[in-house]
Chains A and B, each alone.
Chain A
C-alpha cells in the first residue's frame, strides 16, 4: 500500500486534489475525535491550579511526582495483573490446545462457548462470583458449610479472587490469540517430524512448542497490558475491602471532594504509557520470534487422537464453561429471583419483583432504553462511516492511509476509563452543551469502537477479491455504479455482522460510560454498578441478567450471521 502511495505521479494531480481534500477531512475528523481528548488529559495531568479548567491556570509536574505516593496501588496493580495473566494464559493455552489440536467431540460448539465469558463482561462476572464465592454467604461457601466444612473455602474479595475473575472474563483474548497461533502452523511441519521417526511427545516438544512459543509469549504480554487497564472486577470486588488498583484509584480520585483530577490524569497517562510500551513489546516478540513458516494462512491442523484421555480433555473444556458461564449465570439467575439480599440456600423466597423494579424504576428502566438507543444509533451511523474509512485505508490508493490507520487505531492503546476521563474534560470545555446527554456518550462510543469497527470491517473488505470490483469498472461501470451493484451487495453480510458487534459492544460498555453519563443519560453497565453499590444485590443481579440476556441474544444473531455468510459460498 505505502509503496503505491509514494508512486503516485504528478500526472494524476486532479485525482490527488479531490483525494487529498477527502484525506484531510478524514484526518481532521479522526484527529478531533481521538487526539482532542488526549490533549485535555495531558493538560489536566499538568494542571496544579483549579481542577478541570482548560487551559490549566498553573502548570507543573507535581501530579506526576505525586505518583510516588501511589506506589502501593501500583504494586497491587502489577500483582493482580501478573496473577491474572498467568491464570489466563495457562487456561488459554490448555483450552486452545484441546480445541484446536485434539479430536474431542463438539469442538465447534465449545469454541463458540469460549467466547461467551467475554460477552458476559467482567462486570457481570465479578458480581456473579461475588455471589458465588463471597465469604460466609457465597453459594459455594454455603455448600461447603452444608457438607460440614468449617470456615470459608473461598474469598473472592481478595487480590487472588479479583485476578481469577479477570482471568475468566477478560482472559478470553489469550485463548483467541493462542488458538490463532496454533491454527496458523502448517501441519506438514509436524507431519514431517513424525515421518522422520519422532514420536508424538518428541514432536510436541521439539517442533510444536518452539513454533507456537512466540505466539504464546506475545499473547501473554498482550493480556498483561489488558489486565493493567482492567476496571470492572477490581471495582466490584476490590472497593468493598478498600483494595485499589490504578484504574479504581483513578475512579476514586474523581469521586473524592475536592476531586483530585490531577492525580487521576497523571495516573491515567502513566497507565496509558505502560500499556503502550507493553503492547509494543508484545508486537515485537511476535515479529522477532515468529518463524517464516508460520504464515497468516489458516491451515487445517492435524488433530491428535487423544485416545481415552479425550474424556479428561473434554471435562477440562466443559469445566471452564461451567466456571465461566454456567455457574455465574446460574448464581445471578438464582439471586435475581430472591426476595432478600443474601441468598441463604435453605430458606429462599422466589419472586419476580426484582425484574419489575429493574424495568420500571424510572432511571433503571431508562438506562436500558438509553443503552439500546445508543447501541442502535452508534452501530447504524458507525458502520457506514467506518466502512468508508476502511475503504480509504485499505482499498484506495490515496496518500496518508497508513497515517489515518494509526490515528484511528489509537484508542485501542488507551484504557477506556482513561479515555473517558479525557473525553469528559474535552467536552465539558466545549461551548456545545452536550455534556450529560446521550450525544456525548454516542461520540465517546464511536471513538472507542473505531479500532473494533476498523478491524472487523477490514476483515470484511479484504474478503472481497479486488478483481470483482475491477471487473465492474472494466465492464464500463462508474465508481458509484460499481459500489451500488457489486461492492455493497457483497459486503452486506459482513457489514451486518460488524453492525451487531458494535451494537453488543455499546450495550456492554462500562469504562468510558462511567465518567460520561449524567443523571439524564444513564446507561446500563454503570447503572448496574450504582445499584450494586447503593441498593440490593438481588436487584443488580436482575439487571445483570437483563444485560446478559440482551447481549447473548445479540451474540446468537452474530453466530447465525457468521454461519450463514461464510466467505466461500461454495
Chain B
C-alpha cells in the first residue's frame, strides 16, 4: 500500500474500463476531498456508473489508479485490485438492493454483523441509523413489504450503519416519483453534511446534480467534459455538450467580430445579424478545469469561423412593447459589458406552474425563455428581449 501524501478520500487517475471492444471509461481522473459531495453527471452510457462501480470494486478496469483514503485500491501498474469487501466504503444501489428475505433491521445490521461487532453495538447502531432515516417503527417488518421511498431510506440506513467514511450513490433517487425525489434530495444532502461523509453521487438528472453537489463532474462518451461547482458548470459551460446538457441553454450560432479582450469580452454577430456582446470565460483563469479534446462534442458540420454562444433561458428578460416600438430592429446597448437588447414576438407560451416557458421569434431564429409565472405575456405580443453579456457564454 502506498500513500502519496494526498489527503483526498477518493483519487482516480487515468481510469480506463473496457467492455469488450467498447471503452466505457477512457482516462478519467479526479480527486474528492473529505466531506465533499461530488456528482458524476451525464447521459446514460457516458461511463459515470462504470466509474463509480470501479471505485466500489465491482468492475475490472484495464488501466489507471484508484486510491481510497490514500491507499491503493486499484492500480494497473501494481497489478492490484482490492475486492469490494476490502475497500471499506459503502454504496447505495439504484435498485436499492434490499434483501427481501430479511427484516428491515436485519438488512441494516448486515454490514455491522459482517464486521463482527458486539451485539449491543449492532443494535445501537441499527437504532441510530433507522432513527436518522425516520424508519424506526419499521425495524421488524419484512423488507419485501416496503414502498419505493421506504426501501430507499433503508438502503441509505444500511449504507451508513457501519460508519464508512466514503459513500457511493448510484442514481439512488431515479426510481422515485418527482415529489418524493425532491424531498429525498434534501434529506440526503442533510444527512451527508451532518455525518460529514465524503460522497460520490451518480445521476443523469442535471437539476439533482446542481442542487445536491459541492462539485459536479460532467461526463460524456467515457470522458470528463467539465469539473466545477454547480454555479460554474451552469453559468460557464466550457463545451457545447455541457451547455446543452446542463440547464438546456439556447445555442446561438454566429461569428466573432473581434477576438476577446483581456477580460474575455467579445463582440459577436448572430446568423440573423443580431449584434451581441458575449463573454469568452475560457480566457479567464480558473474557469476551465478540464475539457474533452477539441471538437469532441461539436455536432454537425460547422462553417469556418462559426462559433456558438450559450444563453440559459432563465437569464433572458422579456418586456411587452407597443407595435411601433423598434419592431424587428436589434441593436447592442452602448455600455460595454452591460445588457444586450433586441426585439421579438412571443410565438408560443407554455404554462408550467413554477415558470412559464416562451418560444420567442427574434431575428436570430427562436429563443426559449423561462419567466416566473407572474410575468404573463400574450402570444403574438411584441417584446423587448434583454440579457446580460456575462450570460452569453462563447463556446
B194 at the binding interface (Cβ < 8 Å): no
The residue in A11, A474, A489, A569 that gathers the most chain B C-beta atoms within 10 A of its C-beta is: A474
A176 at the binding interface (Cβ < 8 Å): no
In the complex the two chains form, is B62's CB within 8 Å of A7's CB? yes
Q: Please, how many angstroms separate the alpha-carbon atoms of A59 and B84 in the complex?
A: 58
The residue in A3, A12, A475 that gathers the most chain B C-beta atoms within 10 A of its C-beta is: A475
In the complex the two chains form, is B79's CB within 8 Å of A474's CB? no
In the complex the two chains form, is B79's CB within 8 Å of A13's CB? yes
In the complex the two chains form, is B56's CB within 8 Å of A474's CB? yes
The smallest C-beta distance from A488 to any residue of chain B, in angstroms, reads 10
B354 at the binding interface (Cβ < 8 Å): no
- Can you give 14 A-B contacts (C-beta < 8 A)? A3-B19, A7-B19, A11-B62, A467-B93, A470-B97, A471-B97, A471-B99, A472-B99, A473-B83, A473-B84, A474-B57, A474-B58, A474-B87, A485-B110
Tell me which residues across on chain B come within 8 A of A471, comparing CB atoms.
Answer: 91, 93, 97, 99, 158
**Residue of B with least CB distance to A567:** B100
Q: Which residues of A contact B (CB under 8 A)?
A: 2-4, 6-13, 397, 465, 467-468, 470-479, 481, 485-486, 489-490, 569-570
Tell me which residues across on chain A come within 8 A of B101, comparing CB atoms.
Answer: 489-490
Given known contacts A9-B62, A474-B58, A569 and B100 CB-to-CB distance under 8 angstroms: yes
**Residue of B with least CB distance to A493:** B101
The residue in A10, A471, A473, A489 that gathers the most chain B C-beta atoms within 10 A of its C-beta is: A471
The smallest C-beta distance from A148 to any residue of chain B, in angstroms, reads 64
Tell me which residues across on chain A come within 8 A of B303, comparing CB atoms.
Answer: none
**Residue of B with least CB distance to A478:** B85
Contact with A along B158-188 (1 / 0, CB 8 A): 1000100000100000000000000000000
Specify which of B95, B110, B114, B144 is in contact with A467 (CB 8 Å cutoff): B95
In the complex the two chains form, is B97's CB within 8 Å of A465's CB? yes
Contact with A along B244-256 (1 / 0, CB 8 A): 0000000000000
In the complex the two chains form, is A477's CB within 8 Å of B19's CB? no
Specify which of B83, B95, B111 is in contact with A465 (CB 8 Å cutoff): B95
Secondary structure class of chain A's binding surface, majority of residues: helix
B18 at the binding interface (Cβ < 8 Å): yes
The smallest C-beta distance from B91 to any residue of chain A, in angstroms, reads 5
B219 at the binding interface (Cβ < 8 Å): no
In the complex the two chains form, is A474's CB within 8 Å of B84's CB? yes
Tell me which residues across on chain A come within 8 A of B263, comparing CB atoms.
Answer: none
Given known contacts A467-B93, A468-B97, A12 and B20 CB-to-CB distance under 8 angstroms: no
B213 at the binding interface (Cβ < 8 Å): no
Q: Which residues of B contact A (CB under 8 A)?
A: 18-22, 56-58, 60-62, 76, 79-81, 83-85, 87-91, 93-95, 97, 99-101, 110-111, 114-115, 144, 158, 162, 168
The smallest C-beta distance from A145 to any residue of chain B, in angstroms, reads 62
Specify which of A2, A476, A489 is in contact with B115 (CB 8 Å cutoff): A476
Specify which of A3, A6, A476, A490 is in contact with B114 (CB 8 Å cutoff): A476
In the complex the two chains form, is A12's CB within 8 Å of B99's CB? no
Tell me which residues across on chain A come within 8 A of B83, comparing CB atoms.
Answer: 473, 479
Q: Please, how many angstroms separate the alpha-carbon atoms of A485 and B110 in the complex?
A: 9
The smallest C-beta distance from A561 to any residue of chain B, in angstroms, reads 16
In the complex the two chains form, is B85's CB within 8 Å of A473's CB? yes
Given known contacts A465-B97, A569-B144, A6 and B115 CB-to-CB distance under 8 angstroms: no
Q: Please, how many angstroms separate the alpha-carbon atoms of A397 and B59 in the complex?
A: 10
In the complex the two chains form, is B76's CB within 8 Å of A11's CB? yes
Q: Please, how many angstroms separate the alpha-carbon atoms of A7 and B62 in the complex?
A: 8
Tell me which residues across on chain A come within 8 A of B80, comparing CB atoms.
Answer: 11
**Residue of B with least CB distance to A11:** B79
Tell me which residues across on chain B come within 8 A of A474, comparing CB atoms.
Answer: 56-58, 84-85, 87, 89-91, 168
Specify which of A8, A397, A476, A569 is in contact with B85 (CB 8 Å cutoff): A476
**Residue of A with least CB distance to B24:** A7
Q: Please, how many angstroms separate the alpha-carbon atoms of A477 and B90 in the complex?
A: 12
Tell me which residues across on chain A come within 8 A of B162, comparing CB atoms.
Answer: 475-476
The smallest C-beta distance from B95 to any residue of chain A, in angstroms, reads 5
The smallest C-beta distance from A9 to any residue of chain B, in angstroms, reads 4
- Sort A-B residue pairs by CB-CB distance and give the 5 closest, nearest first: A3-B20, A475-B111, A471-B97, A473-B84, A467-B97
The smallest C-beta distance from A400 to any residue of chain B, in angstroms, reads 16
Tell me which residues across on chain A come within 8 A of B110, comparing CB atoms.
Answer: 472, 475, 477, 485
In the complex the two chains form, is B81's CB within 8 Å of A12's CB? yes
Given known contacts A3-B19, A474-B85, A490 and B99 CB-to-CB distance under 8 angstroms: yes
In the complex the two chains form, is A9's CB within 8 Å of B76's CB? yes
In the complex the two chains form, is B94's CB within 8 Å of A467's CB? yes
**Residue of B with least CB distance to A486:** B99
**Residue of B with least CB distance to A474:** B91
Specify which of A3, A470, A479 is in contact with B58 (CB 8 Å cutoff): A470
In the complex the two chains form, is A470's CB within 8 Å of B60's CB? no
Specify which of A10, A470, A481 is in contact with B84 (CB 8 Å cutoff): A470
In the complex the two chains form, is A481's CB within 8 Å of B114's CB? yes
The smallest C-beta distance from A377 to any residue of chain B, in angstroms, reads 28
Question: Assuming A3-B19, A6-B20, A12-B81, what are 20 further A-B pairs, CB within 8 angstroms?
Answer: A2-B20, A3-B22, A4-B20, A7-B62, A9-B61, A11-B81, A12-B60, A467-B97, A468-B97, A472-B110, A473-B58, A474-B56, A474-B91, A475-B114, A475-B162, A476-B88, A476-B115, A477-B85, A478-B85, A486-B99
Tell me which residues across on chain B come within 8 A of A485, comparing CB atoms.
Answer: 110
Q: Please, how many angstroms separate the alpha-carbon atoms of A212 and B284 in the complex?
A: 63
Q: Please, how many angstroms separate the alpha-carbon atoms of A393 and B94 in the complex?
A: 25
Q: Please, how many angstroms separate the alpha-carbon atoms of A474 and B52 in the complex?
A: 12
Tell me which residues across on chain B come within 8 A of A486, comparing CB atoms.
Answer: 99
In the complex the two chains form, is A7's CB within 8 Å of B100's CB? no
Tell me which residues across on chain B come within 8 A of A13, comparing CB atoms.
Answer: 79
Tell me which residues across on chain A come within 8 A of B168, comparing CB atoms.
Answer: 474
Tell me which residues across on chain B come within 8 A of A9, comparing CB atoms.
Answer: 60-62, 76
**Residue of A with least CB distance to B76:** A11
Q: Please, how many angstroms separate the alpha-carbon atoms of A11 and B78 in the complex?
A: 8
In the complex the two chains form, is B99's CB within 8 Å of A468's CB? yes
Q: Please, how many angstroms separate the alpha-carbon atoms of A471 and B94 in the complex?
A: 11
Q: Please, how many angstroms separate the alpha-carbon atoms of A474 and B160 in the complex?
A: 12
**Residue of B with least CB distance to A482:** B85
Q: Please, how many angstroms separate the alpha-carbon atoms of A303 and B3 in the complex?
A: 65
Tell me which residues across on chain A come within 8 A of B97, comparing CB atoms.
Answer: 465, 467-468, 470-471
**Residue of A with least CB distance to B170:** A467
In the complex the two chains form, is B76's CB within 8 Å of A470's CB? no
The smallest C-beta distance from A401 to any residue of chain B, in angstroms, reads 14
The smallest C-beta distance from B160 to any residue of chain A, in angstroms, reads 11
Tell me which residues across on chain B come within 8 A of A12, comparing CB atoms.
Answer: 60, 79, 81
Tell me which residues across on chain B come within 8 A of A477, comparing CB atoms.
Answer: 85, 110, 114
Specify which of A7, A467, A570 is in contact with B60 (CB 8 Å cutoff): A7
Tell me which residues across on chain A come within 8 A of B57, comparing CB atoms.
Answer: 473-474
Tell me which residues across on chain A come within 8 A of B115, comparing CB atoms.
Answer: 476
The residue in A2, A8, A467, A486 that gathers the most chain B C-beta atoms within 10 A of its C-beta is: A467
**Residue of A with least CB distance to B158:** A475
Specify which of A472, A475, A478, A570 is in contact with B144 (CB 8 Å cutoff): A570
Tell me which residues across on chain B come within 8 A of A478, comparing CB atoms.
Answer: 85
Given known contacts A9-B76, A12-B81, A474-B58, A490 and B100 CB-to-CB distance under 8 angstroms: yes
Q: Please, how many angstroms separate the alpha-carbon atoms of A4 and B62 in the complex?
A: 11
Tell me which residues across on chain A come within 8 A of B93, comparing CB atoms.
Answer: 467, 470-471
**Residue of A with least CB distance to B94:** A467
Q: Please, how many angstroms separate the alpha-carbon atoms of A475 and B115 in the complex?
A: 9
The smallest C-beta distance from A395 to any residue of chain B, in angstroms, reads 13
Q: Please, how many angstroms separate the alpha-carbon atoms of A481 and B86 in the complex?
A: 13
Tell me which residues across on chain B come within 8 A of A570, comparing CB atoms.
Answer: 144
Tell me which residues across on chain A come within 8 A of B89, comparing CB atoms.
Answer: 474
**Residue of A with least CB distance to B74:** A11
The smallest C-beta distance from A112 to any residue of chain B, in angstroms, reads 26
Tell me which residues across on chain B come within 8 A of A467, comparing CB atoms.
Answer: 93-95, 97
Tell me which residues across on chain B come within 8 A of A11, comparing CB atoms.
Answer: 62, 76, 79-81
